[in-house]
Every structure is written in structure tokens, then in C-alpha cells.
Amino acid sequence: MSTNNLSGHVYTMEEHIDVSPGRRRQHSAEFKALVVKACSQPGISVAAVALRYQLNANLLRRWVAAQAQRDGIAQTQQVMASAVPEFVPLQLPPSAAAMQEIVIEVRRGAATVMVRWPISAAADCATWLQGWLR
């Protein structure tokens, strides 16, 4: 066990973590997973784990929250992958009036025209409507 004296505080550590002033530390994914797992132990506070590994407690809280979010997303994906969507075919009876004719109501200024056209002559209806709208 080693002891480090930092700003009047004595830290007892099992391993040595080099903290160089002015440089950002890069932490491996394995280290982050180890520290986050340590936070999940019952009776252990995030602050205590942060002190143990010489980390900022807020940074460690972000790591824990990010892991919790990843776990939630993974769990949701597993549920969605295992859920089989059910398709229920729905039979709708054809409406007799809707299948027989095209109904168009056109307003131009104060004039309103309602046209009923047989569905069998839909192309003629389109031609008539284009000419009327010019």
C-alpha cells in the first residue's frame, strides 16, 4: 500500500495513479467499467469510489449515468427484438356509393359547383376538371 500526500491530504492507495498537472487523463473502457461497477456495490458511495481512484465525483456520476442509459437502451432493444408484432387483418365492407361515382365540389368566387361523375370515366373527369380550373 502506498501513501500520497496531496495538498495536506493523505491518500492510501493499493495502486499508483500518476496525476500530472495540466494534462487530461485518458481512461480506458476497462477502467471505466471497473470504477462504475465499484459504484454499484451496496453501501458504497460514488464520492468514496471517486476518492479511491482520484477521480472527480461529478465525472464518475456522468459515467454511472451513461452506463445506466446504455443498459436501459440494451434492455429495450432486447425486449423489442423478442416481441413479435401482431398483425390483425381488418376487412372493410366496400361502400356502394363511394365505389359508384366521383363527387367534386368546386368553389370559384361566389359560385359553387358540385359534380358527380361515374367512376368508370375517371380520366374524362380529370380532363373536364383541368379545363374548368383554367
Q: What would the pLDDT profile of 40-81 be if each residue is shown by its tens digit?
A: 888 888 999 999 999 999 999 999 999 888 888 888 877 777
Alpha-carbon separation of residue 79 from 14, 83, 85, 107 (angstroms): 41, 6, 12, 53
Beta bridge partners of 104: 115
Cα 24 to chain centroid distance, Å, stands at 31
Domain boundaries, the chain: 2-82, 96-133
How much is the pLDDT for 131? 83
Closest C-alpha among 104, 106, 1 to residue 52:
1
Angle (CA) 99-103-106 rounded to 5° is 165
Q: What would the pLDDT profile of 91-111 be if each residue is shown by its tens digit?
A: 877 766 556 788 888 787 888
Is pTM beyond 0.85 here? no
